[in-house]
Structure 1
């Protein structure tokens, strides 16, 4: 189970947006230990008992547990052993997040292995100042997540975080930039603030991201403002830490339950006050009709540039599968060797697929099968595919995979040039009793300039959806200086 699924299921099952922070602060533990006759015990012993009590009391009322790595490192080897005990104590259906604020490139690979493989945690917080490279080693673990700290709550950080101006502060630039590093299900944002205005700015810049709040907000009035500013269109997408002062109270479990109930009442009221504009999205964060979302444009631009940089676009004389000779070749097979980029490509497909109705995904062999497999896993939809040739031995199936007659199938391919291979695959699917209405491709070679392939499919009764087209790719690469005018002319 991936982190995002684990988190959303925990939110749903426990009906909670609360998160427990397991940070054994000596000053905080002193009064707690005294009330339990542990004043003369070592701090390590006090911390062990406190952690166990907090986990047991709060687990029914929270959707995640977070432990700050620095507290445990400060205790030396015994502290790291204590962190292993934390892993054992936290229920496996609750995500465990390690708050590391890691920012050192040289140790990232080793730390990712230690946290995700040796310790078995589910997510880690990172400092963003080293850029995308800081996240890459952690994002290689597909079932884990990273949390980028985009803003600190420390007052002394204001001069840095609001550079160069209040109108376009650094922390919002970080929010926009780091969304290009990973998809919403693998990259969250940590926001240090108790100011609803600041939280609202982050939410507006990152409407699809889960935001993890880091602040003191125990006053009910402040809580209302933060919920108003930070909830997404489903009245979740916001993780709120239990106030630290509650974590040493004798009736911690009871107070955590009451706070959860209070937040849920506010969420219900929020939903009543923010009716959805349609069945899928909230009007509060939908871009104006007819105007593209700047965040989507930025993500698309970054995706195109990264595809070019890993060699997906080649120039020369290339014979296509249709027999036509082009002066360039789009080689999307390179994508599967770059897990982070491949994940972003899958996300771009998913954005289109989530708007469609289908029972199964069918990949056109062989180029699109890795993509179709990834989409099947990401969207929890069964995968089938029509064989390119029927074997003379074995089961001699025309269609591989399990299906029922009448199932609705969406066909996935990598690039649409003539439409011939897609129509050939559809014919095999339909001859087996399957229903095909939609075709989704990553690149439409013709785009608006040459609609023959698209019109060929539409004339046969199929809707065509494309993530990108060659004209869009050309404009982006030319504007970024990746192509010369002569190369751009070849593409257009």
Structure 2
């Protein structure tokens, strides 16, 4: 008998579709909160879209909440899917082996699903009962589509120059555990850079990609990043864009047609695919928020400006995993510059500069805030030689005052400074001041970029974002 993924390949080629229709009977979409209403909702979608659906994916949660009748309705919905169309139970199970055996029997024998989504957190033994039958498949949560996925999935595991994140480790393990016959991965289309990285780790496996439609993923970016070399391997899940359409069948057909058009366009090699960018910046935007490095209120800055937002990157020292990832982002920028040493500015940037030095193998020096009146009396700590070029490393840029103080000390020691690299530009005049003085400032993130991301992902209240934008406009330093 063919394996689950062989069946998926066969159907994908037969109907020329990558569409996975999500069967998610959200309470607000039902005329009444009953199992019968949920079942009718799903049956309507199945009947309308079966011609275009590569697979159907019912979400167990929306049935479980309706009690025993909901569970029975889920079973009937799965049985209503026409023969030959795979059904993926979206349950995200994950438990010890003995419990996993019961979950596997429930999904495959009782409900009759063809595949299931699983959580890899508890390791291989929690997955093995689901891998016993090659005619059944599992999709392992790897890099999920929600913004909060960065809290754990993007944490770096260490390495030299290039980090491996948790989700990349999962992708690598999937190659070992699944041997391609019965294990795929879940990677959100909302993170195309991560999708591209996972595809490199798992070149042959099927990827279930949620996030298109209501979550705002870009179709062409996702397909360019996630398709296999044969043009398949990406199961694109769509739920609300179909279920809330006036004509779900027409909506499904339009989606499939857009997939086909994108596939034809993507057949041409993409420069972006040849030189992938590690998915570090996007995750840091969320990570800074989750670490408490971004605070809102009323704060007086060193420059004297009163700001509705305070960025405290000193907190990074408490999060070694994130500190490692921050260093990796700096190294991406530093790899494009020519210099002999890096100079970290006390105090907030010194731990960051140390992490950069250790990870990138860059010699580190730092200018003292106060020159010692004892011992060597050095103004610059570390070994250096006059005439060398130094890149200044700092955490933030506001007006540029602290950068000029440091550059003056470095220049007095005979060192040349051309570039300043910071993690975040508050857009309060530092770039303009440094440029006027002949220095190049490289900001890995700007305050506007942070606000744009949080607004798009709705991670912050709109009034908080509006206050910060108003502050930027009032100070006249950002559009």
Normalization by structure 2: what TM-score?
0.53
Equivalent runs, 1:286-301 vs 2, <5 Å: none
Residue aligned with 2:122, SS: coil
In the alignment, structure 1 residue 267 sits paired with structure 2 residue 263:
yes
What residue in structure 2 maps to residue 226 of structure 1?
Answer: 222
How far has the Cα of 1:184 moved from its partner?
1.0
The question of whether the paired residues in 2 share the 8 Å contact of 1:20 and 1:65 is answered with yes
Deviation sequence 1:351-399 (CA, Å, 0-9, x none): xxxxxxxxxxxxxxxxxxxxxxxxxxxxxxxxxxxxxxxxxxxxxxxxx
The answer to whether residue 204 in structure 2 is matched with residue 203 in structure 1 is no
CA apart distance, 1:45: 2.7
What does 1:299-314 correspond to in 2, within 5 Å?
none
Change (3 A) 1:96 1:156: same
Contact preservation (8 Å) 2:79, 2:112: no
CA drift of 1:217 comes to 4.2
Give 1:46 deviation, angstroms: 2.1
The CA distance in 1 between the partners of 2:189 and 2:215, in whole Å, is 14
Secondary structure (helix, strand or coil) at the match of 2:90 reads strand
Structure-2 separation of matches of 1:98 and 1:187:
14
Distance, in Å, in 2 between the alignment partners of 1:211 and 1:87 is: 21
For residues 250 and 117 of structure 1, what CA distance do their matches in structure 2 show?
A: 35
Q: d(CA) in 2 for partners of 1:194 and 1:221? A: 5
Q: Kindly report which structure 2 residues correspond to 1:63-74, keeping only aligned pairs within 5 A, or say none.
A: 63-74=54-65
Q: Per-residue displacement from partner, 1:438-490 (whole Å, max 9, x unpaired)? A: xxxxxxxxxxxxxxxxxxxxxxxxxxxxxxxxxxxxxxxxxxxxxxxxxxxxx
Cα distance per residue 1:279-298 (max 9 Å; x no partner): xxxx969xxxxxxxxxxxxx
Q: Return closer, same or farther for 1:89/1:250 CA change in 2, 3 Å cut-off.
A: same
1:43 shift after superposition: 3.0
Partner residue of 1:176?
172
Who is 1:103 aligned against? Answer: 94
Q: Deviations over 1:337-357 (max 9, x none)?
A: xxxxxxxxxxxxxxxxxxxxx
Q: How many residues align?
A: 268
Post-superposition offset of 1:118: 2.3
Q: Tell me, what secondary structure is at the counterpart of 1:226?
A: helix
Which residues of structure 2 form unaligned runs of 5+? 276-479
Q: What does the per-residue CA deviation read over 1:217-257, in whole Å, with 9 as the maximum and x for residues that have no partner?
A: 46998111111111110111001012413212221101210
**Could you say which residue in structure 2 is the equivalent of 1:290?**
none
**Does the CA contact (< 8 Å) of 1:128 and 1:178 recur in 2?**
no
Q: Which position in structure 2 is the counterpart of 1:94?
A: 85
Residues 83-113 of structure 1: CA distance to partner in whole angstroms, max 9, x if unpaired?
Answer: 1111221011100011111111141111212
Match of 1:158 among 136, 150, 170: 150
* Aligned-partner SS, 1:146: strand
Alpha-carbon offset, residue 154 of structure 1:
2.5
| 5+ long unaligned stretches in structure 1 | 31-38, 275-282, 286-492
Is the 2:190–2:218 contact (alpha carbons within 8 Å) kept by the matching residues of 1?
Answer: yes
8 Å CA contact 1:24–1:51 kept in 2: the answer is yes
Matched residue, 2:115: 123
- The answer for the alignment partner of 2:130 in structure 1 is 138
Cα displacement (A) at 1:185: 2.2
Distance 1:228 1:42, change over 3 A: closer
In 2, Cα distance between equivalents of 1:179 and 1:240: 21
Per the TM alignment, residue 150 of structure 1 is displaced from its structure 2 partner at its CA by 0.9
Relative to structure 1, is the Cα distance of residues 272 and 168 closer, same or farther in structure 2, using a 3 angstrom cutoff? closer
RMSD value, Cα: 2.4
- Shift of the alpha carbon at 1:124? 0.9
